[in-house]
Amino acid sequence: MNYKQCDIVLIPFPYSDLSSFRQRPALIISNSILNSTQDVICCLVTRNSDYNCLLMPEDCFADGKLPFKSWIKPYRIFTVHKNIIKKKICSVKGKFYDKLLIEIQKYISRD
């Protein structure tokens, strides 16, 4: 399948101790340059808010939606091989994506 920036996909995500994994949603943040390869860059989506999470309001979705109140962790960024993606769940609007990019920059900007 051809995945694109702003898609929310379902992936097997490992526990921090690597003992097992569970299916979790993730937002694809990479653009078409990387998405044309076998990899995509994602941000973790969660049901649990903690410090510096970005709330995903009901109106942030372009098509479909998540079945639960969700937050994005802009500091949990990772690369995923497309073969492990289970399916596309929905996608977010460009305006929400732009807001997320500002949050991500807080964690990677020069000190």
Report domain extents, the chain. Answer: 7-106
Q: What is the strand order of the sheet 54-56 is part of? A: 54-56, 70-81, 39-46, 21-28, 7-14, 87-92, 61-63
Q: What is the mean pLDDT of the chain?
A: 94
pLDDT of 1 > 90? The answer is no
Q: What is the dihedral of CA 50, 7, 97, 27, to 10 degrees?
A: 30
* CA distances from residue 88 to 5, 30, 55, 85, 105 in whole angstroms, order as listed: 12, 15, 20, 8, 26
7-106 belongs to which CATH class? mainly beta
The pLDDT of residue 110: 87
As a whole number of angstroms, the distance between CA 108 and CA 111 comes to 9
The mean pLDDT of 44-48, rounded to a whole number, is 92
Q: What are the tens digits of pLDDT across the range 53-100?
A: 999 999 999 999 999 999 999 999 999 999 999 999 999 999 999 999
pLDDT attached to residue 35: 95
pLDDT band at 31 (very low <50, low <70, confident <90, very high): very high
pLDDT of residue 16 exceeding 80: no
